[in-house]
Amino acid sequence: MKFLFILNDPPYGTERSYNGLRLARALSKTEGNEIRVFLLGDAALCAKAGQKVPQGYYNIEFFIQSILKRSGQIGVCGVCMEARGLRDEELIPDCRHSTLEHLAEWTMWAEKVLTF
């Protein structure tokens, strides 16, 4: 099945993006599932490489990398990146600078769209 996750919340401070990524990662483990994640608004910061979090606290970068390793795709809203001062070279490798047109294409591709 083809799943699109649209995340809106920051990587830390709430658990919405964390929970969305947890579900995306769990679904990516089932053969035949295809996962795409689009990061909007403050969720764009989920794709920042080199995250340092306190010992024992969840690490969003780990979940992003796990999804990418299973052939998932991560798109990051370019306008949202600019608004937050996030540059392409700061992204986790294989996360891609994207547009709302790209999100529209992914939405038409998906069989299920989940928002967090």
- Nearest 10 degrees: CA dihedral of 7, 10, 11, 13? -130
By percentage, how much of the chain surpasses pLDDT 70?
100
Domains with residue ranges and CATH for the chain: 2-42+57-62+75-111 (3.40.1260.10)
Assessment of whether the complete model's pTM goes beyond 0.75: yes
Q: What is the pLDDT of residues 45-60, one digit of tens each?
A: 999 999 998 888 899 9
